[in-house]
Chains A and B, each alone.
Chain A
């Protein structure tokens, strides 16, 4: 089975540019999560969706970040304008529905390594 697919794997861009990260969740999963990982702060939840609806975006750092899930098989995380402090590895994960909170495992993609110069 195909796992969670993220693209691109690496992105290097200049400060001020728009960055779009993409994620294809595992088919049949209806919860999708975006994370950011840095050495200083570890793995942080940015936002998660359930049935394509954003449920909790309290982790989104600021208005420069936005996420969409137009359908069950695709999500984007956009940063506009990008800044050097946004440099990190961004992960997408999916799981079976978890509104009840009963611990469904999350399946992670291999991340996008983003460098903002």
Chain B
């Protein structure tokens, strides 16, 4: 079965620094990876999607990369702010919807 691992359960960084979160997958590359943000007591909110044939995607202060050789996606938040504190989830999905798997999430805390 396909698995998703996220590098750490929790990550603390200082405000203004770049946060880097890691998502590793097993077996073959998924058709795409999605990243979501989840705040306590709320449902996940979609942030970014990257396809297998894309190296990098950006949205404002967010950047995601996809390395099929390393079987890894990196999610970066530049100029981090305390409001970025949340749990970030990586999701893999293949074509036709199969193998839809969420990672365990990384809880990010941005300290003022």
Residues of chain A from 1 to 19 with CB closer than 8 A to chain B in the complex: 4
Q: B residues bordering A, Cβ < 8 Å?
A: 31-32, 34, 41-46, 49, 51, 89, 93-98, 100-105
Interface of B is mostly: mixed
> B44 — which chain A residues lie within 8 A by C-beta?
43, 91, 106, 108
For the A-B complex, the count of residue pairs with Cβ-Cβ distances under 8 Å equals 57
A99 touches B96 (CB 8 A): yes
> A103 — which chain B residues lie within 8 A by C-beta?
31-32, 34, 49, 51, 93
Could you tell me the distance between the alpha carbons of A63 and B22 in the complex, rounded to whole angstroms? 36
> A93 — which chain B residues lie within 8 A by C-beta?
43
Knowing A43-B89, A48-B97, the reply to whether A105 touches B43 (Cβ < 8 A) is no
Q: A residues bordering B, Cβ < 8 Å?
A: 4, 42-45, 48, 55-56, 91, 93, 98-103, 105-111
Could you tell me the distance between the alpha carbons of A71 and B58 in the complex, rounded to whole angstroms? 37
